[in-house]
Amino acid sequence: MQSTDCALPVPQDANSTTAATGRLPLSALLALATAGFITILTEALPAGLLLQIGTDLEVSQSLVGQMVTIYAIGSLLAAIPLVALTRTWRRRPLLVVAISGFAVVNTVTAISNDYALIMVARFLAGVFAGLLWALAAGYASRMVAPHQQGRAIAIAMLGAPVALSIGIPAGTLLGTVTGWRLTFGLLSIMAILLVGWALRALPDFPGQRTERRLALSSVFRLPGIRPVLFVMFAVVLAHNILYTYIVPFLQPSGLDGEADRVLLVFGIASLVVIPIIGALVDRHLRRLVLASMILFAAASLVLAFWSDLSVAIYTGVITWGLAFGGAATLFQTASAKAAGVEADAAQSMVVTTWNAAMAGGGLVGGLLLDSVGAGVFPVALLVILLPALVVAWLGRQGFPSYSQ
C-alpha cells in the first residue's frame, strides 16, 4: 500500500498528452465544474422561490422547503451504495447517466402539477447528485499528473461556489420575473447541452477490476480517511449552522434586512480564494487546511464579540468566506490523495459526510435558535471547530505537509 504522504501515482489510463505537456485539460475540467453548477442550482433554487412554487402548486412554503430536504436525503442515502454498485463501470458513461438524470428530473419538476411526483423527482435528483459528486474529484485527478491533481480538483469544484454566489441569486431573479417552471426548464436544457460537451471533452476511464478493489469498510480504514471525514464534517456543520440561520443572527446589528447583501459578500470572498487554493493545494495542502480553519475560528471570534456592529459583521463574513471558499477543494483533494486508487469510494464517503453535516447544521442551528437564540452561534462554531483543528494538526496522514 502506498504512503499517504505521497501524491497519487499517474494512472495508466491518464491523458498522456496532458501529462507530457503539463497542460491542464481545461475543457474537460470546466465540463465537470458545469455539472457541479447545475447540481447546486437544482438543489437550492426552491429555497429562493418558495412563494412562487407554493402558490402555483397550492401547498405551503414549508412544504416547498422540503423539496430541498428530500434532495439532500437522496444524496445522503445514495452516494455510497451507488458508487459501490458501479465501481467496475466505465467512468464517462456513468457520469453521462448522472448528468442526463438532471435533464429528466428537472423536466418533470418544470411541467408537473403534482407535488408528490415532484418530490419523487427531487429525491432522484439528489440520487444523481450523490453519484456525480462522488465521481467528480476522482475523475479530475485521473486526467492530470500527480503534481496537478489539487489544481484540477479546484477547477472541477468551481461550479459549486459560482452557483452559490452568482447562480442562485440570478436563478431566483429569473424565476421571479419569468416563472419558476421556466427556470427549471432551462436547467434541463443546460444538462442536455452538457451531455454533448462531456462526450466530446471528457476522456473515458475504466472502472476498477473486481479483484483489485477494496471493500468500502477497508477504504474507510485507510490511513488518513477518517481524520479527513471528521474535520470536514465539523467545518461543514459549523458553516451550515450560521449560513442557514444568518437572518436571525443579523438582527442585533440591524442587518437582517440586508441578508442578501451579506451573503453576496460571503460568496464573493469564497470565489476570491479559490484560485489561490487551486494554485497552492498540491504543495501546501496541510498549511491551507490549518489556515482555513484558523481563519474560520477567527471569524467566529469576531462575530461572537461584536455581533451588534455592522463593520464587524462584514469583517467576520469576509473572513468566513475566505476560510470556507476552498473547503470542497481541500477536503476532496485530501481524501483523493489518502485513498489513492480507491478515490471514487472515498469520494462517496465525502459526499455522504458533507450532506450529513449540511442536514446536521440545519438541525443543530434550529435547536440552538429555539432554545438560547442566534447569539450563541459563534460560540457553538468555536466549540465545533477547535477539536477539529486539533485532529487536523495531528492527522498528518490525512493532511500531509507536502506531496512528492
Q: What does R_g of the chain's alpha carbons equal in angstroms?
A: 20
Please tell me whether residues 220 and 339 are part of one structural domain: yes
3 within domain boundaries: no
Question: Residue 330, CB half-sphere, CA atoms under 13 Å: how many?
Answer: 31
Please tell me whether residues 301 and 370 are part of one structural domain.
yes
CB count, 10 Å around CB of 351?
Answer: 27
Over the range 9-48, which residues count as b (16 or more CB within 10 Å of their CB) and which as e? ebbeebbeebbeeeebbeebbbbbbbbbbbbbbbbbbbeb
Who contacts 81 (Cβ-Cβ below 8 Å, separation ≥6)? none
Residue 230's identity, in one-letter code, is F
Percent of the chain's residues with pLDDT above 70: 91
Q: What angle do CA 194, 200, 203 make, to 5 degrees?
A: 110
Regarding whether 140 and 74 lie in a shared domain, the answer is: yes
Query: Is residue 174 domain-shared with residue 273, that is, in the same domain?
Result: no
pLDDT at 34: 96
CATH number for position 328 = 1.20.1250.20
Closest CA to 289 of 298, 299, 280: 280
Q: What is the mean pLDDT of residues 274-283?
A: 84
| Domain range for 283 | 216-394
106 plus 162 within the same structural domain: yes
Contact status, residue 389 vs residue 301, Cβ threshold 8 Å: no
Which amino acid does the sequence have at 182?
Answer: L
Selection from 336, 353, 383 nearest residue 219 by Cα: 336
Do residues 52 and 115 share a domain? yes
Regarding whether 304 and 387 lie in a shared domain, the answer is yes
Question: Chain-wide mean pLDDT for the chain?
Answer: 84
Shared-domain flag, residues 374 and 311: yes
pLDDT in tens, 330-359: 888 888 888 777 777 787 788 888 878 877
Number of domains in the chain: 2
At residue 21, the pLDDT reads 52
Do residue 44 and residue 193 come from a single domain?
Answer: yes
H/E/C letters for each residue in 256-316?
HHHHHHHHHHHHHHHHHHHHHHHHHHHHHHHHHHHHHHHHHHHHHHHHHHCCCCHHHHHHH
- What are the pLDDT digits (tens) for 178-190? 999 999 999 999 9
User: How many residues are present in the chain?
Assistant: 404
214-254 pLDDT per residue, tens: 666 777 777 888 899 999 999 999 998 888 778 788 888 88
Which pLDDT tens digit goes with each residue over 27-61?
999 999 999 999 989 988 887 787 788 889 988 87
Residue type, 296: F
User: Inter-axis angle of helices 149-156 and 259-305, to 10 degrees?
Assistant: 130
Q: Final residue of a domain: which of 201, 227, 262?
A: 201
231 and 95, same domain (yes or no): no
In this structure, is residue 10 part of a structural domain?
no
Q: Given this model, what pLDDT does residue 84 score?
A: 79
Whether residue 254 is contained in a domain is answered as yes
pLDDT, residue 8, reads 37
Claim to verify: residue 255 and residue 358 sit in the same structural domain: yes
Please tell me the distance from the alpha carbon of residue 112 to that of residue 107, in angstroms, as a whole number: 8
